[in-house]
C-alpha cells in the first residue's frame, strides 16, 4: 500500500513538470484531489485493511494529500506571477517617455454645423438658447397643441421616465419656455422674439442609415406683428446658402404638424447622390431637412402671447441631417459611433 502512495506522488510530480498554464494545473488538481481523484480513491481501498494498517495507511494518504495540495497552491502562485511578467514584457514596446501627441483634437461634425448655424442666426439678430434634455409632457406635447391621446403623439415614439417626464423628442419642446421668457419684452418694448435652440433629441427608432435614436435638431422661432410665410422662406434660404456656401435646390411641400398652421416640409436636393437617389435619401433624391410653418394660435396662447396681435414662424432644422449632407456622411450611425478615424477628419471651414 505504501508503494501506491509513492507511485501516485511520482506520477503527480512528473505531470506537474509539464504544466505551464493555470488551466492545465486545474486539470491535474481534479485528477488527483477531485471527488473521484486518484488520492481520494486511495481512501476507498482501505476497507480491506486491518485496523493497524488502516491507521498507518490513512496517515500516509493524508500526508500525500497535504503535500499535493501545497505543491498545487505554490505552482498556482508561480503561474500567476509568470503571466504578469509576460504582460509586462509585452508592454515593453510602449515607451512611457515618448512625448504626448501634441496634435489638436477636432470637433464633432455636428458641433461644427451647429456652431455655423448659430453664427448665421446670431448675425441675423437671433438669440441662442439652452434647454434641458428632460422635459415635461406639457412642454413636449400639450403646449404644442398635441393633447393627451392625440394621434400625432404616435409620430414620435418617446422615452418616458418613471416620474412622468420624458426625454425631449424634438426641440419644439423648448418653444413654450422661450415664449414665456420673452413675451413681456415683446409686448412692453416691441422687441420681436427671435430665438434658436439647438439640442439633442431622443426617439425609440429602429436604426438604419438615416434613423438614430439620438439625434440633434435646431429649432428656431420668430414672433412679432405681421410675420408671414415670406419671412420664413427668406430666413431658411439665407441660412442654407450660408451653410453650404452655394445655392441649394430646395422644395416646399405641405406638411402636417399640430403646432403650425400652415405647416411645410422643406426638402433639399440630396447632396450625397446629387438627387439621383441613394440609401441616404431613401432613393427619392430629396432629403427632409427643415419642417417649418406659421406658429399655431393655440401654441402662442399657451406661451401667453395673443395670437390676435402677433404671428410667427417656427422651424425644426435637422442638425444631424445637415451635418451628413454637408460632410457627405452616408450613415447616420457613424456620428454616434465614437470612431475617431471617421469623426476627426472634419474641420471648420469658416
Ligand atoms: N418638431 C418637429 C419634429 O421633430 C419638427 C418641426 C416641424 C418643428 C414644424 C417646427 C415646425 O418648428 O414648425 O418632428
181-226 confidence digits (pLDDT tens): 999 999 999 999 999 999 999 999 888 888 899 999 999 999 999 9
Same-domain status, 322 and 220: yes
Last residue of a domain, one of 92, 126, 148: 92
Q: Please check whether residue 102 lies inside any domain of the structure.
A: no
Query: Does 262 have pLDDT greater than 60?
Result: yes
Strand 260-269 versus strand 250-254 pairing type? antiparallel
Same-domain status, 81 and 207: no
Q: Please check whether residue 100 lies inside any domain of the structure.
A: no
Range of the domain at 42: 2-92
Q: What is the pLDDT of residue 257?
A: 95
Strand 193-202 versus strand 127-128 pairing type? parallel
Q: What is the pLDDT of residue 283?
A: 92
DSSP codes joined into one string, 104-156: -----HHHHHHHHHHHHHHHTT-EE----SEE-HHHHTGGGT--TT-GGGGGS
Same-domain status, 64 and 183: no
pLDDT tens digit sequence for 297-329: 999 999 999 999 999 999 999 999 888 888 888
Same-domain status, 52 and 128: no
Same-domain status, 76 and 132: no
Q: 275 CA distance to ligand 1 centroid (A)?
A: 24
Pocket of ligand 1 contains residue 212 by CB under 6 Å: no
Residue 190: give its domain's CATH number.
3.30.930.10
How many independent structural domains does the chain possess? 2
Verdict on whether the full-model pTM lies above 0.75: no
Q: Please check whether residue 104 lies inside any domain of the structure.
A: no
Which residue has the least CA distance to atom 12 on ligand 1? 315
Same-domain status, 207 and 153: yes
CA 53: distance to chain centroid? 72
Same-domain status, 267 and 156: yes
**Which cell numbers in the block locate residue 254?**
405641405
Same-domain status, 139 and 73: no
The closest-lying atom of ligand 1 relative to the alpha carbon of residue 221 is 12
Kindly give, in sequence order, each residue whose CB lies less than 8 Å from that of residue 236, ignoring residues fewer than 6 positions away: 250, 266, 290, 292, 315
Same-domain status, 7 and 143: no
Q: How far apart are CA 274 and CA 267, in angstroms?
A: 13
Q: How many residues does the chain have?
A: 350
Confidence of residue 57 (pLDDT cuts 50, 70, 90): confident
Pocket of ligand 1 contains residue 172 by CB under 6 Å: yes
Amino acid at each position: 500500500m505504501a508503494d501506491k502512495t509513492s507511485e501516485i506522488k511520482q506520477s503527480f510530480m512528473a505531470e506537474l513538470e509539464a504544466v505551464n498554464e493555470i488551466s492545465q494545473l486545474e486539470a491535474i488538481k481534479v485528477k488527483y484531489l477531485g471527488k473521484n481523484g486518484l488520492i481520494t480513491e486511495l481512501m476507498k481501498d482501505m476497507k480491506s485493511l486491518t485496523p493497524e494498517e488502516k491507521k498507518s495507511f490513512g496517515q500516509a494518504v493524508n500526508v500525500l494529500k497535504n503535500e499535493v495540495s501545497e505543491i498545487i497552491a505554490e505552482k498556482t502562485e508561480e503561474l500567476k506571477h509568470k503571466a504578469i511578467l509576460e504582460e509586462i514584457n509585452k508592454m515593453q514596446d510602449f515607451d512611457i517617455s515618448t512625448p504626448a501627441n501634441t496634435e489638436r483634437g477636432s470637433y464633432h461634425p455636428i458641433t461644427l454645423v451647429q456652431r455655423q448655424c448659430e453664427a448665421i442666426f446670431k448675425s441675423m439678430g437671433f438669440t441662442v438658447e439652452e434647454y434641458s434634455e428632460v422635459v415635461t409632457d406639457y412642454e413636449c406635447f400639450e403646449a404644442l397643441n398635441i393633447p393627451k391621446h392625440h394621434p400625432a403623439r404616435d409620430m414620435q415614439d418617446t422615452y418616458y421616465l418613471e416620474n412622468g417626464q420624458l426625454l425631449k423628442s424634438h426641440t419644439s419642446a423648448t418653444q413654450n419656455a422661450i415664449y414665456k421668457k420673452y413675451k413681456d419684452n415683446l409686448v412692453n418694448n416691441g422687441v420681436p422674439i427671435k430665438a434658436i435652440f439647438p439640442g439633442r433629441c431622443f426617439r425609440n427608432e429602429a436604426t438604419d442609415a438615416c434613423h438614430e435614436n439620438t439625434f440633434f435638431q435646431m429649432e428656431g422661432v420668430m414672433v412679432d406683428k405681421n410675420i408671414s410665410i415670406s419671412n420664413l422662406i427668406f430666413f431658411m434660404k439665407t441660412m442654407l446658402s450660408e451653410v453650404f456656401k452655394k445655392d441649394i435646390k430646395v422644395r416646399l411641400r405641405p406638411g402636417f404638424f399640430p403646432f403650425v398652421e400652415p405647416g411645410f416640409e422643406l426638402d433639399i436636393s440630396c447632396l450625397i447622390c446629387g438627387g439621383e437617389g441613394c440609401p441616404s435619401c431613401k432613393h427619392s433624391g430629396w432629403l427632409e431637412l427643415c419642417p417649418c410653418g406659421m406658429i399655431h394660435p393655440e401654441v402662442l396662447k399657451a406661451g401667453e402671447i395673443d395670437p390676435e396681435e402677433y404671428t410667427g414662424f417656427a422651424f425644426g432644422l435637422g442638425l444631424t441631417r445637415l451635418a451628413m449632407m454637408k460632410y457627405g456622411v452616408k450613415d447616420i450611425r457613424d456620428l454616434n459611433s465614437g470612431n475617431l478615424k471617421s469623426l476627426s477628419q472634419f474641420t471648420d471651414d469658416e
